[in-house]
Amino acid sequence: MIQSNPDTRTAVRPSWGLLLVLCGAIFLEGIDVSMMGVALPSIRSELDMSTGSLQWVVSAYVLGYGGFMLLGGRAADLFGRRKMFLFWLAVFLVFSGLGGLATEGWMLIVARFVTGISAAFMTPAGLSIITTSFAEGPARNRALLVYAGTAAAGFSLGLVVGGILSEFSWRLVFFGPVLLSLVLLLSAIRLIPPVSRPERSGQGFDLPGAISVTGAMLLLVYGVVEAPNLGWSRTLIAIACSAALLGLFVAIERRSASPLVRLGIFATGSLVRANLGAMLFAGSFFGFQFVAVLYLQELRGWSSLETGLALLAVGADAVLAPTLTPKLVQRFGNLPVIVGGFCLAAAAYALFLPLGLDWTYAAMFPTMILTGLAFSLTYGPLTIAATEGIAEEEQGLASGLLNASFQFGAALGLAIVTAVNIAATGPDSSPQSLLDGYRAALIVPIAASVLGIVVISFGLRRRESAACSSSL
């Protein structure tokens, strides 16, 4: 049952009904992103968009999502999680529909940017509702693992559904989420308990901090996403400006009576390690997916639907996360499971290195299924580690930090993989040159996974040292 707390006055409602709605929202976010990637060729053809402008259909969403994530997480704490979730779910619904009605490329890009902003507010609000509704421990862990599995299922199924819908019209890729959003919104109004007063009444809103950190995140994500197009000099300028705004943000937060981000939260070692792990895992996964899709479509000539079906095995996480992972976490603990997930990810990507010009799917399948298993052992437990032990009034902030780490990691991984692939391929576009570029780019997700093992293992060693000290 839902816990009572000083911020909410609720009727007794089934926790799992509430979880179903929130899982539906993260499923919506996952399927929306993955369907979009499959629909891009059809969008370019009908709207007559250049390759550069087409990239912004994806980049605008990432920019809005990553740039406003911290603000979204803190807004959930300050203004009410339920209120933020419902409002921004409605915005998501409206602008997804507007994207489907777009007749010009710029209209679609603006719609995707606002949709990304709505996800930046909606996602941490939904995650923090889970972490404040379920008691810390086995109940919350299982809820978070179900949530993580649903996110992975949305992403994996979106590849297939997007391929099918695009065969009829790319606009269905936008209108499908509209229908799902409407069902979720009506269900959320009923199943998410209302509050009788603002969750954080009496606290001011740190507007200078909000402006400076959002500007810093926007510039950082922009610099990372656009690095292959901007060149080194302009990329460094964007990152330098981001760093300057971040420095201003830190100075503001130290003096603010009601800081947007309490800097002391970064003293929590598990939160910092979980966020670093999230960056590395997202970077490795999305970097690998990028290489795999290019290999299958650009070199092998597979269709969007065939590519989606090939990657469907990664969606095994949807089954494994709520069934296998809770048992492993209970038996071995959270951190060992995360380390195991990173080990499997490194092995999966390494197994893809010998890819050839005529590889069968049977040769690819071990990588796909191991990637799904790695996702199930890593994504959910990282979410647990990033929110465990955090005060209830900062759960939205912790959720926002985690989601920002996932988004930034994904953008950084894609940027580095793209740069390595272009450099290794060179001007020659022969099949062998393309293959050499893919192999070189695969080193990036392997290296990120190995670094993730090191980061999380450091926390494991510290925990074991603390346990030994307490027993003396």
Let me know whether 241 and 210 are in one domain. Answer: yes
pLDDT of amino acid 6:
39
Q: In degrees rounded to 5, what are phi and psi of residue 430?
A: -70, 155
Long-range contacts of 38-41 (CB under 8 A, 24+ apart): 38/158, 38/159, 38/162, 38/163, 38/166, 38/173, 38/304, 38/307, 38/308, 39/162, 39/165, 39/166, 39/170, 39/173, 41/166, 41/304
In a domain, 293, yes or no: yes
**Domain carrying residue 339:** 15-205+260-471
Please state, in angstroms and rounded to a whole number, the distance separating the CA atoms of residues 387 and 405: 13
Q: Which residues contact 353 (CB under 8 A, 6 or more apart)?
A: 439, 442, 446
Let me know whether 320 and 353 are in one domain. Answer: yes
In a domain, 190, yes or no: yes
Let me know whether 158 and 221 are in one domain. Answer: no
CATH of the domain at 103: 1.20.1250.20
Let me know whether 366 and 404 are in one domain. Answer: yes
Let me know whether 366 and 251 are in one domain. Answer: no
Let me know whether 230 and 181 are in one domain. Answer: no
Let me know whether 182 and 219 are in one domain. Answer: no
In a domain, 4, yes or no: no
Please state, in angstroms and rounded to a whole number, the distance separating the CA atoms of residues 18 and 31: 20
pLDDT of amino acid 4:
39
Q: How does DSSP classify residue 2?
A: P
pLDDT of amino acid 268:
78
pLDDT of amino acid 301:
85
In a domain, 7, yes or no: no
Domain boundary among 236, 259, 282: 259
In a domain, 239, yes or no: yes
Let me know whether 299 and 376 are in one domain. Answer: yes
pTM: 0.80
Let me know whether 74 and 136 are in one domain. Answer: yes
Domain boundary among 226, 244, 259: 259
In a domain, 236, yes or no: yes
Domain count, the chain: 2
In a domain, 386, yes or no: yes
Let me know whether 170 and 211 are in one domain. Answer: no
Q: Which residues of the chain have pLDDT under 70?
A: 1-15, 51-52, 55, 195-205, 228, 460-472
pLDDT of amino acid 468:
43
pLDDT of amino acid 369:
94
In a domain, 5, yes or no: no
pLDDT of amino acid 69:
80
Let me know whether 184 and 231 are in one domain. Answer: no
Let me know whether 113 and 155 are in one domain. Answer: yes
